[in-house]
Structure 1
Amino acid sequence: MPAPADLRARNLWRPLGWGTIAAMIAAPAVAMRFTSEVHWGPEDFGFAIVLLGGVGLAFELVVRRSDRAAYRAGAAVALAAALLTLWANAAVGIVGSEENDINMAFNLVPALALLAAAVARLRAAPMAYAMLFAAGAQLALGLAMQFAGHGVWPFTLALTATWLASVWLFRRAAR
């Protein structure tokens, strides 16, 4: 049984996390009241709710799965990489604009990471291999884009490093 102080600390993180998600969703609604630069429609808010809510729910699952800080951090880093990829791709596109069809390839990396995590059944040691697979897919996609004439190196290197940080954290959790 966790100590009462530990329970209080956990109870502070949940409202902070969900409150942050709510604030991120509400921010564009507030901004639209003060500037014409922000134009979000119902579909934009729906996408944000599904994406951010999905990440929040996935992290809730992870928190229940393990008490190890390294495991939770590894999952948080992997979820952040997936969120950043999907959000950037939908908002502005990684290659050209968000309407460029080639951008759909970038959505495959978080999908592959999710599939690999399911195969790993969220266990720490196999999760390290799953996230290594995602890092390799990210790097391979970046190379393919480079050979096709699309310079996406900053994005590729940043996300590959993020996936690799998740690998390191899951390896620590597996010890």
Structure 2
Amino acid sequence: MNVAPFVMAGLFLLVAGLLTMLVASRGRSGSYKVAAGVATAASLLLVWGNLAVGFIGSEDNPVNLLFGAVLVVGFVGAAVARLQPLGMARAMFAAALTQFAVPFVALLIKQPPLTIGVLWVIVLNTLFAGLWVLAGWLFRRAGLAGDGLGRQVE
């Protein structure tokens, strides 16, 4: 029995949990904490699904590497925002836009025939983009109610 996939899964869950704790500990509002959980879950599901089966073709399809851009946009945006809620909201909305764009960029690169499989990829990506939008909306809500750090926004 090969234990490597189980070790990888355990490491992914550990990193996701630690990331959620780190980001959620920055805010006091419930919206901020839930947003951190949704963003971390979206990241984890994106990586896990892509490694397990791949979203575009099989997991070996190099076009699946485009999904790394979604994570880069989210992480760089969070770093630039210094985890402040309104900046985090913008980062999550940018990640949603990137997520939504990936299958269309892949279509331009590969130019496959339009099949039901291609449409399912677009639907799946729209659902993932919805997770990023939800996280962005929750961060925005936390920022408008206060800054997510217990202070009122002026």
| TM-score > 0.5, shorter chain as reference | yes
Amino acid of the structure 2 residue aligned with 1:46: V
Q: 1:94 aligns with which of 55, 59, 84?
A: 55
Count, aligned residues = 136
Higher relative contact order (CA 8 A, sep 6+): 2
* CA displacement 1:60-103 (0-9 Å, x = unmatched): 11232111000011111111111111010001111111111111
Identity of aligned residues (%): 37
The two structures have a TM-score, normalised by structure 2, of 0.82
Shift of 1:164: 0.6
Shift of 1:154: 1.6
State the partner residue of 2:22: 61
The alignment's C-alpha RMSD in Å is 1.5
Structure 2 CA distance for aligned equivalents of residues 67 and 115 of structure 1: 23
Structure 2 CA distance for aligned equivalents of residues 61 and 108 of structure 1: 22
Contact 1:125 1:174 in 2 (8 A): yes
For structure 1, the residue ranges without an aligned partner over 5 or more in a row are 1-38
Q: 1:169 aligns with which of 134, 138, 141?
A: 138
Q: 2:71 aligns with which of 89, 110, 118?
A: 110
Residue 118 (structure 2) pairs with residue 157 (structure 1): no
Structure 1 CA distance for aligned equivalents of residues 14 and 142 of structure 2: 25
The higher radius of gyration belongs to 1
Residue 53 (structure 2) pairs with residue 84 (structure 1): no
For structure 2, the residue ranges without an aligned partner over 5 or more in a row are 145-154
Contact 1:85 1:107 in 2 (8 A): no
The two structures have a TM-score, normalised by structure 1, of 0.72
Amino acid of the structure 1 residue aligned with 2:49: A
Contact 1:127 1:170 in 2 (8 A): yes
Shift of 1:126: 0.4
Contact 1:124 1:174 in 2 (8 A): yes
Contact 2:24 2:37 in 1 (8 A): no
Contact 1:136 1:160 in 2 (8 A): yes
Structure 1 CA distance for aligned equivalents of residues 94 and 38 of structure 2: 15
